[in-house]
Amino acid sequence: MRKEKLEEEYLHNEKQLENEVMKKTKLIDDLQSNLSEGERQLNELKRLEHESTAESIKKGRIDMKNSASELVISKSVLLQKDEQIEFLQEKLEEQKQSIEDQARHLALKSYQTEATLAEIEEKIYSRLYMGISEDLMLKLMRCENSVLKENRIHANEAENSPLRVKSNVSQVTNNKNTKCNPFKIFAQ
């Protein structure tokens, strides 16, 4: 469930990044449009300088100043968008790393469970060959199965909260050593 949540968050951030890229592209288009308008006004100013009065020239210069101010503002906004996109890319990379770490952790838990199963089977067969009574063998098998279920519960808890891994591992060891001691079972 945690892995699915992380993947969902990863996809959400990826979509957000795509939206930011689209906004940036639109901003670039707007900037190019402003540049074209600036060039148009510059050409108009040159024309006015040749055929109009000083007042017309002055007005054209004011328009050019306004266009230049707009271009500076657009460039500033574009730089801010770049910083936001870079921040989102870093976040996506962190989440990707976290998902990979969780996957490795789950694989390790699966491997440990398989190893525990193999160890239980080996003990059962070795005790059979040692001549343990059938009644005691059944008690041992029930005990081993009980410990195995608890191990799975602790592994699930560890998957949901990696901070509890150490306490869960010691709990599994204690369960195994206290509950499945053949001498205690035999004495019951």
Encoded tokens for 13:
């951030």
Q: Please indicate whether residue 14 or residue 163 has the higher confidence score (pLDDT).
A: 14
Q: Which amino acid is at 141?
A: M
**Coil/strand/helix, residue 83:** helix
Domain limits of the chain? 1-103
Query: How remote is the C-alpha of 115 from its chain's centroid?
Result: 29
Quickly state the pLDDT bin for 166 (edges 50, 70, 90).
very low
Q: What are the pLDDT digits (tens) for 55-70?
A: 665 676 777 777 777 7
Encoded tokens for 105:
């952790």
Q: What are the pLDDT digits (tens) for 18-37?
A: 888 888 888 888 888 888 88
- Report the pLDDT value the prediction gives residue 170, as an integer from 0 to 100: 46
Residue reference for tokens 């308008």:
37
Encoded tokens for 166:
């150490």
Which burial class, exposed, middle or buried, applies to 38 when counting CB atoms under 10 A from its CB (0-12, 13-18, 19+)? Answer: middle
Instruction: Give the mean model confidence (pLDDT) for residues 133-158.
Output: 72
CA atoms within 13 A on the CB side of 151: 22
Encoded tokens for 63:
């328009």
Range with the largest mean pLDDT of 5-9, 30-34, 140-144: 30-34
Is residue 45 scored above 70 in pLDDT? yes
- Cα–Cα distance measured from residue 177 to residue 11, given in angstroms and rounded to the nearest whole number: 45
State percent of the chain over pLDDT 90. Answer: 0
Quickly state the pLDDT bin for 171 (edges 50, 70, 90).
very low
- Report the pLDDT value the prediction gives residue 125, as an integer from 0 to 100: 67
- Report the pLDDT value the prediction gives residue 141, as an integer from 0 to 100: 76
- Cα–Cα distance measured from residue 156 to residue 160, given in angstroms and rounded to the nearest whole number: 6
